[in-house]
Structure 1
Amino acid sequence: MKLRTTEITLAGMFVALMAIGANITSIVPFMVIGGVPITLQTFFAILAGVVLGSRLGAISMMVYVLVGLVGVPVFAQFTGGFASIIKPTFGFIVSFIFTAFATGYLTEKMKKTTGVFVFASLAGMAINYAFGTNWMYFAYKIWASAPEGFTYKLAWLWMVVPLPKDIILAVLAGLMGLRLERTLLSRSQFKNLRTAN
């Protein structure tokens, strides 16, 4: 699989954006609201799919995961390393690959409308939640020390807190992606980027 220079550059840009999004509260402390950090990883994973398409979007997220696993501190709280795999929340990191792919796939195959882009973005967010939450549940049940009284229902209740901000950010990612589709991505140097996926 050979990537063009433009594709490598854009994929690298999204790896950097994911690292920033994971640690945005360290850069901008006021983005902690009610004790809940507003990270931008899901936003950028969705945007990667919308902008780069299914193939390159997924590749950029794979590179992000691999960069973190080899020890570069690109995960939340500036962490990294192979030991991240055993953390209960690692499933959310893995899910970014599927989030970007699904979002990109839907926007490639359907009409370029506001509704489609928002729907695709929300679908990507749903994949992020489903994969990450189920991974977290099984991680706590199989190898991590689960909190007392931990249940499958409780795992999902934990996700209620970040859900509103992720819905808002997913919609914004879809709208931003559509805007880019109609402006930057419509230019000659970018028009074949998504069709090559």
Structure 2
Amino acid sequence: MSTTRQEAESPTFYLVQEEAHEHGGEHASPTLLGFWIYLMSDALIFATLFATYGVLAFAYAGGPTPRELFDLPLVALNTGLLLVSSITYGMGMLDMHEGKTRRVQMWLALTALFGAAFVGVELYEFSHLIAEGAGPQRSAYLSGFFTLVGTHGLHVTFGLIWIGVMLVQVGQRGLTVENQRRLTCLGMFWHLLDVVWIGVFTFVYLLGTLQ
């Protein structure tokens, strides 16, 4: 049977072709396995930063305490922005499996919008703390805080760049097998950042303001 042009351009066709290729070869694509290994190493980095923050959590050096520093409603708003961005990305993945290219692009753009808002609020918080004399050099506690939260913010910024790249690639090439694999890896990365931020919100902000 001959393959029509429409079938050949569909995401399902690409997936079937790749599956047939991988089963016919000796080894499957190592991309997802390699990315899982990267995510585990990234999780270890954050675990180390959490442990460091825990050691320095009460080293205020006579400086301000978390209760004096944090605007909890603002942080809760920022947490909501990141959680909603994870939902919009999940919606995009559902549409990806159905081959809806335009809707995938829409959800990616919304995810980037919420992610950019998250970074913007975090930058505002940092600038406000520094203006109040509570910069990372003020105490060991603040050094641990800025390092942990700032590292997470840098990861979100990298994720935003990655989303921008994927918007361009999906627009140019559609939902090819390669792009679907990249979107899957990006999704795992983005959801990991959500999990890490829940830990930051709980242990740094919530528990900090209760001290």
For Structure 1 versus Structure 2, the TM-score category normalised by the shorter chain is 0.3 to 0.5
Structure number with greater Rg is 2
Whose RCO is larger (CA < 8 A, sep 6+)? 2
TM-score, scaled relative to structure 1? 0.34
